[in-house]
Amino acid sequence: QVELVESGGGLVQTGGSLRLTCVASGRILTNYSMGWFRQSPGNEREFVAGVGWRGGARERYADSVRGRFVISRDNALNAAILQMDNLKPEETGDYYCGGRLGVWVVNRPEEYDHWGRGTRVTVSS
């Protein structure tokens, strides 16, 4: 069993920054990759960024966040960290951390095996 717990959401003004953390616990294998997704009311869960786990796989970003968001991993904590800068109001939503068995990061939520409960991000205009 794997448990994912997100933290770091909150309220920020347009142009502000937030740092989201996802900590994984349980049976974490070396080929376990993690991704962050965003979901707003009435919309599907969409990929934001992802990172391979200890296998050295590259990071991957949605086009809309590339250059403003940075994802990294902390192997000691089994954590995936998403630094979000220059946030926009349309990026308001619930942010979910997903994990999957596989070296490569994928952007399709149906391919993820585990999910956290989410953390809310609100960007005011």
Contact 52, 75 (CB under 8 A): no
Longest dimension (CA), the chain: 41
pLDDT of residue 7: 97
Alpha-carbon distance of 40 to 86, in angstroms, equals: 19
Output the pLDDT for position 93.
98
Question: Which residue carries 């070396």 as its tokens?
Answer: 30
Question: What's the pLDDT score for residue 31?
Answer: 79
Rounded Cα gap, residues 37 and 69, in angstroms: 13
At CA 28, angle to CA 116 and CA 37, rounded to 5? 30
Residue 28 has what pLDDT? 75
Strand ranges for 1-125 from DSSP E = 2-7, 10-13, 18-26, 32-39, 46-51, 60-61, 69-74, 79-84, 93-101, 114-115, 119-124
Tell me what pLDDT residue 54 has: 61
pLDDT of 57 reads 57
- Per-residue confidence in pLDDT tens, the chain, 125 aa: 899 999 999 999 999 999 999 999 987 777 789 999 999 999 999 999 999 866 555 899 999 999 999 999 888 888 999 999 999 999 999 999 999 988 888 999 999 999 999 999 999 99
